[in-house]
Structure 1
């Protein structure tokens, strides 16, 4: 999936996260700021990277402001932001399983 524009997803509310994805010609860069990063930083990064790999996103800048989101929320927010950034409007539900 090629990122064409900057996009946002999520909120800064408790138990959520805010994500900003921007296109870039450079390899994927993921920056995570989290209130629980010392405990769950590796798991947050894994959820973000695995979701982007599933979507075949290899280039771009991803900034995550985490407020204690669960893994399912992280993956959903990353997926939504990536689809918006790529201009995708239809969800391939079979690819999600």
Structure 2
């Protein structure tokens, strides 16, 4: 037995299906950049850099200093490598010693 369905009934059913279907969030419709945005650099104050150098001079391992200060170990290594520049700057200011 075949049922004959009017076109208005089909249109109503399609409309109800579209209303009930979850819509995609708008961010899916926006064009996404090809590359993710670069990581934001964190700023370490000069006093903290001097404190970091003092800890390294005291013989604390770089990885431990990094954990204590909340920075990557590579940052500790770079600051340690440039410690002479930081000492010169601090000596010229005389407000950090």
TM-score by length of 1: 0.26
**Bigger relative contact order, structure 1 or 2 (CA pairs below 8 A, ≥6 apart):** 1
Structure (1 or 2) with the greater strand fraction: 1
Larger fraction in helix: 2
Larger Rg: 2
